[in-house]
Amino acid sequence: MKLQRGQRKLTLDVVGPRDAALADLRALQRGQWPALNDARNGSPLAVILDELDALGWIGEAEPVAQDLDQAWRTSLDALVERGRQALNGVDEGTRRAMKRRLLGGMRDPAEPLGRYGQALGVEDVLVRALRVQGERESTWQALVIARLFGAAGTRWPAQGGGWMEDARELEIAVASQVFWSLKAETAPMALPPLPTIRSAARVCALEVMRDAEQMLRDWNASVPDAPVLAAGQSARAARQIARGIHLQQYYVSLKYVESVLPVLGRSAAPGLRALIWRYLQEEMGHEDYELAACLQLGLRASQVRANVPLPAFAVFHRVMAHAATLHPVVWLTSLPLAEGLPGERKPLPAVLARAGLRDPAFAAHVEADVTLDHAWMARRIAAHLGTVDAATRRAAAQMTATTWALTRLGWEQLVHRFSAGSGAGVVTSPWDWPC
């Protein structure tokens, strides 16, 4: 038997029962391969396949690395082109400002952006956080953005020079950074007022956590909730909004555990490490609650998995992961935005029920969080930490304010996209922005 691919050749002498098995190999249809692979019963044909596979001649060992590299670069070129098309309507001055924001130099990312208490846009902090986090999680994000904005001298690495990533997640991350940089130039949102922190004394982490909870309550009281479901909306309109809610929450739940992992990257005392591990494990699989709600609303599982999140929901886990990398307390003070405040119940199931959406699937995720008592998790973790300096408290206040504003913007985006008359359904392009 002679095998050849390009310059590579192999000649084999096949004798005994394996000779008869070659006829089966030639006749084997594509759909039969999985069954053969599962059987693995030591048949002559299976033996031949294993031996050829070990030598790299079976299809599951292909395509060769060069083919993969080329396919990856082709997909990157297509990503850049889609991004350029999305920016076609943006004027040149705005593009230059976006380029400076996305590609310009940065100071120490551990420092609060600007002077503490300075009037800053939410988007200023978001873009900086996403840039820093993008460098941690991706080989390609910054390079794709540089190519997108035509930065001089940027080119893809030579063959074999980069790690291939999840192309869909890479495009979501890039499109999100571009969206927030555009919003910073066209419709910035100011951070809420930050608390005054004058004392340089170190403060107990649990006290910082309680102060953050009160800060969140004050901000919530100062700004009315987004009208997720307006009074008198039709049942059809309510179902459309509910679809949007659970589609976004599916993605957030799927990716949320990635925001906990950086905390575990730190060397922690055994009791604290065990508590964070417990929290991580309890959060795993919560996307199944959201998937069940989407199915109850008439969506197919394939639609739910193909849906691209709105920009605010696309970056929530990335912003939380950035906070976790800065300091555990910076992460903890934003945790109530995911889990709710102690003593308060998440209002969404009641809002949906008032609109006639009372199936248990719509409340299952919230009920699971109540059972797990996750609204108190931030305080439990804070009780294991020591004291915190003033710089960390300021960084925590700024990141918590940014994340709080991000959640507000998320609900606004959701209502805008899924409100009655918008005609929106499942979103499949990360460049299909809500406004």
**DSSP state letters, 176-198:** HHHHHHHHHHHS--BPPPPPP--
H-helix segments, 187-327: 205-222, 235-256, 261-264, 270-283, 287-296, 301-306, 311-326
pLDDT value for 402: 96
Q: What is the mean pLDDT of residues 154-168?
A: 74
Q: Quick one: which of 272, 265, 223 has its CA closest to 377? A: 272
Q: What is the mean pLDDT of residues 84-102?
A: 95
CA dihedral 349, 355, 361, 363 (to 10 degrees): 10
Sign of CA dihedral 370, 375, 380, 385: positive
What three-state secondary structure class fits 327? Answer: coil
Find the helix or strand (DSSP H, E) in which 385 lies: none
H-helix segments, 87-204: 92-103, 122-137, 141-148, 167-186
d(CA 367, CA 8) in angstroms, rounded, equals 60
Instruction: For residue 56, give the DSSP letter.
Output: T
Contacts for 77 with CB less than 8 Å, ≥ 6 apart: none
Answer whether residue 348 shows pLDDT above 50.
yes
Answer whether residue 172 shows pLDDT above 70.
yes
pLDDT value for 61: 44
Instruction: For residue 121, give the DSSP letter.
Output: B
Query: Sorting pLDDT into bands at 50, 70 and 90, what band is 106?
Result: low
pLDDT value for 423: 55
CA dihedral 263, 265, 271, 276 (to 10 degrees): 40
Q: What is the pLDDT of residues 300-338, one digit of tens each?
A: 999 999 999 999 999 999 999 999 999 999 999 999 999
Buried (b) or exposed (e) across 187-219, using 16+ Cβ within 10 A? Answer: eebebbebeebeeeeebebbebbebbbebbeeb
d(CA 127, CA 123) in angstroms, rounded, equals 6
Return the higher-pLDDT residue of 260 and 21.
260
Side-chain half-sphere exposure of 409, counting CA atoms within 13 A: 29
pLDDT value for 159: 56
- Name the percent of the chain lying above pLDDT 90: 59
- Residues facing residue 2 across a β-bridge: 11
Q: Quick one: which of 30, 29, 22 has its CA closest to 46? A: 22
Q: What is the pLDDT of residues 19-73, one digit of tens each?
A: 666 666 666 555 555 555 555 555 666 777 777 777 766 665 455 566 777 888 8
pLDDT value for 108: 59
Buried (b) or exposed (e) across 235-264, using 16+ Cβ within 10 A? Answer: eebbbbbbbbbbbbbbbbbbbbbebbebbe
Cis, peptide link before residue 63, omega less than 30° from 0: yes
Specify the range with the lowest mean pLDDT, choosing from 145-159, 165-179, 372-386: 145-159
